[in-house]
Amino acid sequence: MAPPPSPQDPTHLRLPSITSPTGSVHTPFPPSPARSPFPRLTGNTFEAQEPLKRAPSGPAPDFSDLYFSELLSYSLERLNKEPELLQEDRERVKRQVTESAVEHYAAFIEATRSLGTIHDELTTFEGTLEALGASLPKFSGACEGFRVSVRDVMGRRAENQQLLGQQHAVLGLLEVPQLMDACVRNGNYDEALDFQAFMNRLGALHGNMAVVKDLVEEVQGVTNLMLRQLVQKLKSSIQLPECLSVIGYLRRLGLFTERELRLCFLGCREEWIGGLVADLDDGNPYEYLKRVTDVHRLHLFDVVMQYWAVFSTEGADGSKGVGECGLLSSWALHRVVLLLESLKTFLPQVSEGSNVASLLEHCMYCGMSLGRVGLDFRGLLASVFEPCMLDIFSSRLVAAVDSFGSLLESHKWVAMPAMTSGQDQNQGGSDTGEGGKDGRPPHALLEHLPIATFVNGMLAALNELRHCAPVALMQPVAKLMQDSLESVALRLAHYKVTHGLNASQGAVFHSACESLADVAAPYLADCLNRVYDGAGKMMDITSAVEPLKDATVG
C-alpha cells in the first residue's frame, strides 16, 4: 500500500468529509448523475458505477418530497425513533466513508489526477483540431503560392539558361562600372566619359532590363564621383589650361546648361578665393589688409581672364552677350564689395598714418591692376580712407589737448633760463612764429613746457596726416586744429580764474599766453600749410585765441 499523503498535499485536504449544518455528510467528490469515476453509496454498501456514463435525460426526482411522503406513512412510535435511526445511519455512513477514504485514498488521488490529465489532453486536442481547421485555408493558399512560385522559378531558370549562353558579353558589361571608376580615380576622364556615353546608349535601348538598370545606376554613381572631383578642381588653384580641360569635361557630362555651367564656375572660384581670405590671420589688421588686397589683385584678375577664355561672350554677330557678361560683372562686383567691407572693418584698427598710407598705396596698385579687366575700384577708396585718417588725426589732437591739460595742472610757473645765441641758431627758429625754413618750431616755445607739449602733440598729429592727406580733409583738418587751439585757450583762461598767481607767476603765465597766441598758433598754421597748400588760411587764429585776452589783462 502506498504511504499516506502528507498534510501539505492539496489532494489530501479535499478527502475528509464535510458535515453541513443540517447534519448531512458530504463527501469530497459527490456523485454526479451524469458522470462520476467514484463508487456510489447505496444502502450500507458501495456500488460501482460505470465511468463517464451519461444520466438519463429528464428532470431529476425530488428526494425531499419522497422522504416526506414516507414519513407521513410512519406511526407515532416509528416517528419517535426516526431521529435515533437517522443518527445511527449518519454515524455508520460516516465510519464507512472514513474507512473507504483511508483504504482507497491512493485510488482517489490517482483518479483525480487521471481525470485532470484527460481533461487537459482533451482540451489541448480540441484546440489543436481547431487550429488545424483554421490553418487549412492558409495551407491551401500556401500551396497555391508555391505553385505560382514554382512557375516563376521555372521562368527564371529559362532566363538564366539564356544568360549563360551570353556569359562573356554580360561579364564585359558588368565590368564597365569598375573600369569607369578606375578611370575616374586615376584622372582618365576621357575614357570615363566614353564609358558613360556607352552606358547611356545601352540604357536607352534596353532600359527595361533589370541588369541594365543596375549598371546605369552604378555608372551614375561613378559619374557623380567624377563630377565632385571636377568641381573640386575648380575650387583649387588651377591654371588656364587645366581650367579649360575641366570645363570641357563638365560640358561633355551634359549635366549643366551653359548658364548653369557659368554659375558653377563662378561659384567654385568664389569659394576658393573666399577660402584663401578666410585662412588669413586677422590678428594684425595692417598685415591682414595687405594680404587680402594681394589675394584679390592676383586671383581675381586670374579668374576674370579664365572666364573670358573658357566662356565665349561674343555671339555670332560679334556682339557681347549681356546676360552672360552680367554674371561675371555681378560676381566681380561682389568680390570688390567684400574687399571694401574688409577695409571698412579693419582699417579703423590701424592707428598709424604711415601704415594707412601704405595700405592706400597697396589698394591703389590693386585697383590699377584690376583695371585692366574693368575692375578699377580706386575711385571708391576715398570714402574708406578719408574717415580713417580723420579719426587718426582727431585722436592725436585730443591726446595733445589732454596732455596739455594734465601738465597745466601740475606746472610750476617759474621763468626758464635764457638761451644763448648758439642755442638759438641750433634751434633754427625765430620769435615770430614762422619757424625755421625746415619747419622746426620756434625756440620761444621751449620757455613754457605746457605750450611746447601741446605743439608737439599737434605736430605729431600733422606728421600722421602728412603720410596720407586727402584733399577732401583740408577743411575738416583746419577746423579741428582751430578747435584744439580754442580748447587750449579756454583752459588757460579757466586756469587764470581758478588759480591764484602771484606777480612773478602771473608774469610767466602771461608770457605763456602770449607764446600760444603769437608764436604757437601762427606756427601751427604754417605747418598746416606744409601739408595742405593754403590750408592755414582756413584757420581763424584770432577767433581761436580770443579767450586769452581776458587772461592776459592785468
Burial of 464 (0-12, 13-18, 19+ CB in 10 A): buried
On whether residue 460 sits in a domain, the answer given is yes
Phi-psi region of 546 (alpha: psi -120 to 50; beta: other; left: phi over 0): alpha
Which amino acid is located at 5 in the chain? P
Q: Identify whether residues 212 and 354 lie together within a single domain.
A: no
Kind and range of the H or E element at 31? none
Domain presence at residue 398: yes
Nearest-CA neighbor of 266 among 323, 327, 333, 337? 327
CB 480 within 8 Å of CB 503 = no
**Which residue segment(s) compose the domain that 194 sits in?**
172-255
The domain boundary, picked from 222, 255, 288, lies at: 255
> Is 397 found in the same domain as 315?
no
Residues 546 and 400 in one domain: yes
CA-to-CA distance for 512 and 52, rounded, in angstroms? 142
In whole angstroms, give the CA distance from residue 177 to residue 183.
Answer: 10
Residue in 493, 406, 416, 485 with CA at minimum distance from that of residue 447: 416
Query: How does pLDDT run across 17-74, given as a tens digit for each residue?
Result: 433 434 444 444 344 343 334 344 333 433 444 444 444 555 556 678 888 888 888 8
The DSSP letter of residue 320 is B
Q: What pLDDT is recorded for position 58?
A: 53
Q: Burial level of 397, CB count in 10 A (0-12/13-18/19+)? A: buried
Q: How far apart are CA 459 and CA 461, in angstroms?
A: 5
409 within domain boundaries: yes
Q: Looking at the structure, tell me whether residues 201 and 344 fall in a common domain.
A: no
Amino acid at position 142, single letter = A
DSSP string, 219-243: HHHHHHHHHHHHHHHHTS---HHHH
- Output phi, psi for 314, to 5 deg: -105, 135
Residuewise pLDDT in 10s, the chain (554 residues): 444 444 444 433 333 443 343 444 444 434 434 333 434 433 343 344 444 444 455 555 667 888 888 888 888 888 888 888 889 889 999 888 888 888 888 888 888 889 889 988 988 888 888 888 888 888 888 888 888 888 888 888 888 888 788 788 878 888 888 999 999 999 899 999 999 899 889 888 887 888 888 888 999 999 999 999 999 999 999 999 999 999 999 999 888 899 999 999 999 999 999 999 999 998 999 999 999 999 999 999 999 999 999 987 544 334 444 455 689 999 999 999 999 999 999 999 998 989 999 999 999 999 999 999 989 999 999 999 999 999 999 999 999 999 998 998 888 888 776 554 444 444 445 555 555 556 677 888 888 889 999 999 999 999 988 888 889 999 999 999 999 999 999 998 888 888 777 888 888 888 888 888 889 989 999 999 999 888 888 888 888 888 887 655 55
How many structural domains compose the chain?
A: 4
Q: What CA–CA distance (Å, rounded) separates 331 from 344?
A: 20
Q: Are 367 and 378 a contacting pair, CB within 8 Å?
A: yes
Per-position DSSP letters for 110-146, written without gaps between them: HHHHHHHHHHHHHHHHHHHHHHHHHHHHHHHHHHHHH
Q: Is residue 279 part of a domain?
A: yes
- Per DSSP, the three-state class of 492 is helix
- The answer to whether 342 touches 292, Cβ cutoff 8 Å, is yes
Pair (284, 370) in one structural domain: yes
Q: What is the CA radius of gyration of the chain?
A: 59
**One-letter amino acid for residue 24 of the chain:** S
Same domain, 227 and 87: no
* pLDDT for position 17: 41
CATH code assigned at 312: 1.20.58
In a domain, 143, yes or no: no
Claim to verify: residue 441 and residue 545 sit in the same structural domain: yes
Residues 214 and 358 in one domain: no
